Amino acid sequence: MHVLQRTRRVTASYSITTQPDTPTAEFDYAQCCHCAKHFHIIAGSKIIRGFCQRCNAVTCGLTACMSCVHFEKKMELEFLAIKKAVQKDKVRSALFEMLGISL
């Protein structure tokens, strides 16, 4: 049995595409629990998707999303990096000020 058939399939969003002369295309989207990207669920497409045991949710299957870093955690880490960079900048300008160097 396929992994997605065994697991709870959570549809994040849904779209209907209508075009003249073509049948209406309906797509279910799932959301990657690691990068928050939405992707089509195409039954039998053989596109490799992942499943994270820790998040208990599907992933988009990209190599970057194979390891478990939840996107909220990722954002938190990015935020911390920015905060650090800003602090570094503040320290630098304080140092410049102390040394009497004007930028």
Q: What are the residues binding Zn ion (CB under 5 A)?
A: 32, 34-35, 52, 54-55, 60, 65, 68
φ/ψ (deg, to 5) at 102: -100, 140
From the CB of 90, what's the least distance to Zn ion, in Å?
34
Radius of gyration of the chain (CA): 22
Q: Which is nearer to Zn ion, 64 or 94 (CB)?
A: 64
Shortest Å distance, C-beta 62 to Zn ion: 5
- CB-based contacts of 71, cutoff 8 Å, min separation 6: 32, 33, 34, 35, 36
In whole angstroms, how close is the CB of 30 to Zn ion at the nearest point?
10
Q: Which is nearer to Zn ion, 13 or 87 (CB)?
A: 13
In angstroms, the CA 46 to CA 66 distance is 17
